[in-house]
Copies of this chain bind each other. A is one copy, B any other.
């Protein structure tokens, strides 16, 4: 690979001069600019970003830590970060981490080795303490989908509890009286919070879900199908079903219709997340929008802001997001 020295030698100038034209330095004659530019083109010269980072002590990367890219939810997260990266002329560095404390730590460390100074981290397993220490070590680290009091301004998260409440309010407003829920025993507590919020709002309205009408499953299409079969097997009837996420909700609809129930006329089904799938299902899924892409963009911007010399006072900007009800076709007024 040709280096700055090659360019300098062939152009008959010092490396300092080449460096100056490379960085649009302030004091360079037009003559050198042209001469050097021409040689750079001739030699097909590409500056070495690693060397630059080394000497300038600043990175032009933007890191993101997620479990994987195959889950559209995390792909959206990464997409949000990527958009900010492009806009800020940074390169996206991606580190994957299974949901385990060790791999999450490893993934973050890989970014630190690269001296990545801004990173959006999705960590469910590292302890609050570990994360706080990391946040101290890496000024541009921002957590997404997690809330830790001590570093609250650096957490961008969704209020799942409130999401559950919004779901309940929607179904109550549609005059539903008997409710069921398909939830998930995931390694994270999002499902729990959603269910809690849902139940608490029902209770405020003087009703509740019968114990038999709460089932759990894997957070997938099949998981939703199986859980719904169990629900049906209980023999109890219900007119509104709140499901942990969209994939499960689509599975639920599938099982309900296979068993002769029409959605939404017989049973309303409400999902959560508003992933791409929800627009493709028939009937189109009513759900709660999880604005993960915007949240990821906000997180990335906060990270960049944090390492800038003159941090704006962003303390007034809320990092808590409330899911938004998206009414499509799978929920409707209860006429029974």
Flag the segment in A48-56, A161-169, A171-179 that touches B: A48-56
Q: Are A280 and B280 in contact (CB under 8 A)?
A: yes
Instruction: Give the size of the chain A interface in residues (CB under 8 angstroms).
Output: 46
The answer for the CA separation of A277 and B254 in the assembled complex, in Å, is: 14
Q: Are A113 and B47 in contact (CB under 8 A)?
A: yes
The answer for the CA separation of A50 and B93 in the assembled complex, in Å, is: 13
A267 within 8 A of B: no
Q: Which residue of B lies closest to A92 (CB)?
A: B94
A19 within 8 A of B: no
By a CB distance below 8 angstroms, the chain B residues around A79 are: 68-70
The answer for the CA separation of A221 and B79 in the assembled complex, in Å, is: 21
Q: Which residue of B lies closest to A44 (CB)?
A: B137
Known: A53-B50, A69-B75. A280 touches B277 (CB 8 A): yes
Within 8 A of B (CB), among A35-69: 44, 46-51, 53-54, 68-69
By a CB distance below 8 angstroms, the chain B residues around A82 are: 68-69, 94, 96
A76 within 8 A of B: yes
The answer for the CA separation of A54 and B276 in the assembled complex, in Å, is: 42
Q: Are A46 and B112 in contact (CB under 8 A)?
A: yes
A12 within 8 A of B: no
Identify which of A76, A250, A280 gathers the most chain B CB atoms within 10 Å of its CB.
A280
By a CB distance below 8 angstroms, the chain B residues around A137 are: 44
Q: Which residue of B lies closest to A258 (CB)?
A: B282
A88 within 8 A of B: no
Known: A78-B69, A95-B91. A114 touches B49 (CB 8 A): yes
Q: Are B281 and A280 in contact (CB under 8 A)?
A: yes
* Partner pick for A49 among B70, B113, B279, CB 8 A cutoff: B113
CB A14 to nearest CB in B, in angstroms, measures 21
Q: 30 A–B contact pairs at CB < 8 A?
A: A44-B137, A46-B109, A46-B112, A46-B113, A48-B54, A48-B113, A48-B115, A49-B114, A50-B54, A50-B115, A54-B54, A68-B79, A68-B82, A69-B76, A70-B75, A70-B76, A70-B293, A72-B72, A91-B110, A93-B93, A94-B94, A221-B280, A247-B280, A254-B282, A257-B282, A276-B277, A277-B280, A280-B280, A281-B281, A281-B282
Having A51-B54, A54-B54, one finds 14 other A-B pairs with CB under 8 Å, namely: A48-B54, A50-B51, A50-B54, A50-B114, A69-B79, A70-B293, A78-B94, A82-B96, A86-B96, A92-B96, A93-B93, A94-B94, A221-B279, A253-B282
